């Protein structure tokens, strides 16, 4: 997918990017590739692949959850790595307040440089583990309108990292591939315990490749018990399974 095809595919979905926004994506790509020579940010570096599998794929979040396109929501991206999906979302919809928490300082430093390069406002980056960021002592707990993650962990694990950070009445949105339905089945107990209720699953395919995407939208209906999230290391070793 060339930059021009990227712009055209989004326009078909009602997302019209300006030349300034297209330039921000071009600058994003250049800095990503340059930094990736020294810091392992992504295995995908070909321009056409980055525009499809990172940039367009990130924006499927806003296709599945269209409130992101118009409302001034606070969005937290857990374990964003090189900034996916939240930085492409921020470029396309600058009214959003975007925060990223990541456990690796090298990635946070890249994101800070990226935000400066792209002149992004209302962005915040936190070098911390998600388990600590959402703990009962954290001021960030239960404070975001929407918490998302892409390619970080299985859904039962992800729910325990993300739902404690989601405000009551807000949403946890997981970006998954073709195995999303299987993971959702495994996560039913975790969602119930952590205060989440499945609202809908949106199925999409990427242009040109037809790769399947399942975007799982969970509404936070109750406060998360203070015992969650558990300590780092515990969640992935023994996920909340019924």
Binding-site sequence positions: 79, 84, 130-131, 150
Structure token digits, residue 88? 């492409």
> If DSSP codes are grouped into helix, strand and coil, which group holds residue 121?
coil
Binding site members for S-adenosyl-L-methionine? 79, 84, 130-131, 150
Q: Do 220 and 171 meet the contact criterion of CB atoms below 8 Å apart?
A: yes
Q: Tokens 């009602």 label which residue?
A: 14
- Euclidean distance between the first and final Cα of the chain, in Å? 42
Q: HSE, CB side, 13 Å, CA atoms: give it for residue 84.
A: 23
Element (H, E) at 187: none
| Residue of 135, 123, 132 lying closest to 87 (CA atoms) | 123
């Amino acid at each position: 997918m060339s930059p021009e095809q990227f712009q055209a595919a989004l326009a078909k979905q009602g997302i019209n990017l300006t030349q300034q926004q297209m330039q921000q994506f071009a600058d994003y790509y250049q800095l990503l590739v340059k930094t990736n020579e020294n810091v392992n940010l992504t295995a995908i570096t070909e321009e056409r692949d980055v525009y499809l599998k990172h940039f367009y794929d990130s924006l499927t979040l806003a296709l599945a959850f269209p409130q992101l396109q118009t409302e001034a929501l606070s969005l937290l991206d857990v374990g964003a790595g090189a900034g996916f999906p939240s930085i492409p979302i921020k470029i396309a919809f600058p009214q959003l307040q975007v925060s990223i928490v990541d456990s690796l300082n090298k990635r946070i430093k890249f994101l800070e440089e990226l935000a400066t390069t792209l002149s992004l406002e209302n962005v915040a980056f936190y070098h911390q583990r998600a388990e600590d960021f959402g703990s009962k002592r954290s001021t960030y707990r239960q404070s975001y309108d929407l918490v998302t993650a892409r390619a970080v962990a299985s859904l039962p694990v992800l729910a325990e990292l993300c739902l404690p950070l989601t405000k009551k009445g807000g949403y946890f949105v997981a970006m998954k591939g073709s195995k999303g339905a299987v993971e959702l089945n495994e996560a039913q107990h975790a969602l119930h315990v952590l205060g989440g209720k499945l609202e809908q699953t949106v199925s999409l395919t990427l242009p040109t490749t037809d790769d399947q995407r399942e975007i799982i939208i969970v509404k936070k209906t109750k406060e998360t018990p203070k015992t969650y999230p558990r300590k780092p290391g515990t969640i992935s070793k023994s996920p909340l399974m019924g």
